[in-house]
Structure 1
Amino acid sequence: MHPRKHIEIPTFARKFQHLDMRFPKYYLAAVTAFLIWGFFSFGLKPLHEYPSLDILFYRIFFCAPIMTIITLLFRRNTIIETRGILRQMPSAQKKKLLLLTFGSALLLMANWFIFIYVMNHISVSAASFAYLVCPILTTVFAYFILKEKLASLQWASVGLSVLGCMLLSYNNFTTIIYSLMVAATYALYLIMQKKITGIDKFLLLNVQLIIIALILLPFYPAYSGPVPQAASFYGYISIIAVLFTIIPLFLNLYALKGISSSSVGILLYINPIIGFLLSAFYYNEEITLFQIAAYSLILVSILLFNVRSFVKSTT
């Protein structure tokens, strides 16, 4: 019997195996989340005749029970494990966790309301611009708050993003104000999620949505419009709740477990680029040469920012 020969794995194959283990999982989660969000207008635009606050009410009131049911039915072990973690946690750390969870819930609620208003009452391109500003703010916040370091190439990509956003803001100051409000709330939300460690992300998101639902519930009788009668309204709200809220938010939180807030922030550009293309070719909104040039610069900035992480994962 001949001894078994040792088969040498080619270098490129070893690199591919290494890449498969380290690179795709968290990046794929983030990319998938932002791809889904890029098509959010398909779920939201058909509801433009309804008040933004009503859409927010029903979005939350659908999301919170759905996630709670999933958690209670399929994630009981996670609840037990989390309860054990909380029992062993020092009181100061518990207080910090509570503040971060409550604060991030408020930021998420504010972000959703402003975004719905911008999408349905200003323009799809304005909503897209909001999430062009967001990655820049996320990167800057992560640098100062989380002390995440950036390489020179990554700072160069941030500079290109700033230039692109300046081109987009030309002669459109109102859009900048709304965009900054949407961008800042979501950027700070991402930063807060990164600071919450040791807690299951799906359960964390579930708790945040319950907090938002409890905050909004007392305001519903006074500030909601007439109860919608059209079945299509509840159909679109269900799609928004599951496809455009629960799934991408969970993927986003999962991605933050394995990649930096800065990387997630830059990948967020996928969302507004899709939104820009839809506004131009599907919703037939007016597009200028400044916008085309700006989005081109931002696309280059995404590639520059992430190329270093990709190269490191393959070596």
Structure 2
Amino acid sequence: MKKGLWYAILAYIAWGLLPLYWKSFESLLAGEILSHRITWSFVFMAIFLLLSRGRWPEIRKIATNGRILLLIGASGILISSNWLIFIWAVNNGHVIETSLGYYITPLFNVMLAVLFLKEKPTGSQWLAVALAGIGVILATIDYGRFPWISLTLASTFGLYSLVKKRVSYDASIGLAGETTVVFPIALAYIIYLHAAHQDSAWSLPPLSLIMLLLSGVATALPLLWFAKAASRLPLSMLGFIQYIGPSITLLLSIFVFKEKFSPVLLVSFAFIWAALVVYALASMKVSRTAAAKAN
């Protein structure tokens, strides 16, 4: 359990610091950054699985199952969309909105569970959703526009989680499958940019270019750490730890990227944080009740 805690903390710190990583490529188009991220994630995972021969029977089993392949394709498109919006938002001065998006993702998952998994949230969980809704409305008033970045990030990652919940497979195999699905599109886009003399990646300074080539490692490692944490920790504990990521991102947006953080937005986040506390306490109560019944 102690090892699982460290894996979880490492994963969420890495995810929280990712805006710093993508900011170093802000001279590139978001689509070009995404294409390289997908390409080098595919290469990294291919090498990783080639060295992990014990997983080949599971890979063959998945490769011959049409339903699982369809779900992997859907999850690949959803997570790529999430990555594209996140990268674009970071490099266009909307880091606060990305933080808000990942704060409300767990509460968006409650809505998906009701709609698609026929789960019945408790009154406290519904209260959390209502508080989060007030926070989003206040953020909309403050921005003067619909917070589409936050809600799109929450919805794409929520739907991605829902799709993955429909089937169980190893995290490394899942990421390999998801990147395999979108890899041809990413490679085609890189080739198109090069042919049209619109690519900028290869003219980056050597250190930045090396960092871009390592984007596959930066993508895969936190996910693998998270998978190890999830297998060792109770879901309720992971629920608390997951807010490390957007909290780091929020602090970066204010103190490093100097984005505007108005009093109204502070109140909006206060509602979101209150919703998360209510949601976390309610989830812990449900977990304890289930454990008591099991015993």
TM-score class, shorter: 0.7 to 0.9
Q: How does 1:131-142 map to 2 (within 5 A)?
A: 131-142=102-113
Match of 2:277 in 1: 303
Deviation for aligned residue 1:201: 2.1
> Are 1:234 and 2:209 counterparts?
yes
> Are 1:51 and 2:29 counterparts?
yes
1:77 is matched by which residue type in structure 2?
A: G
Query: Which one of the candidate residues 194, 212, 222 is aligned to 2:182?
Result: 212
Output the CA distance in 1 between the equivalents of 2:165 and 2:66: 17
5+ long unaligned stretches in structure 1? 1-19
Count of aligned pairs between the two proteins: 284
Distance 1:267 1:301, change over 3 A: farther
8 Å CA contact retained: 1:138, 1:262: no
Match of 2:123 in 1: 152
Deviation for aligned residue 1:82: 4.0
8 Å CA contact retained: 1:44, 1:240: no
1:202 is matched by which residue type in structure 2?
A: S
CA-to-aligned-CA distance 1:247-301 (integer Å, 9 cap, x gap): 2233445667789999978865443332222211222222111222222332232
Deviation for aligned residue 1:212: 1.6
Deviation for aligned residue 1:33: 3.0
> Are 1:181 and 2:152 counterparts?
yes
Query: Which one of the candidate residues 50, 65, 71 is aligned to 2:43?
Result: 65
Coordinate RMSD, CA, aligned: 3.1
Query: Structure 2 length as normaliser, TM-score?
Result: 0.82
Distance 1:233 1:112, change over 3 A: same
> Aligned with 2:203: secondary structure?
coil
Distance 1:239 1:175, change over 3 A: farther
Q: Who wins on radius of gyration, i.e. which is larger?
A: 1
Match of 1:170 in 2: 141
2:184 is matched by which residue type in structure 1?
A: L
CA-to-aligned-CA distance 1:53-96 (integer Å, 9 cap, x gap): 111121122111111111111x211112443x459x8xxxx222
Distance 1:262 1:54, change over 3 A: farther
Output the CA distance in 2 between the equivalents of 1:131 and 1:105: 19
> Are 1:190 and 2:173 counterparts?
no
Output the CA distance in 2 between the equivalents of 1:128 and 1:49: 22
Distance 1:258 1:106, change over 3 A: farther
> Aligned with 2:32: secondary structure?
helix
Match of 2:267 in 1: 293
Match of 1:77 in 2: 54
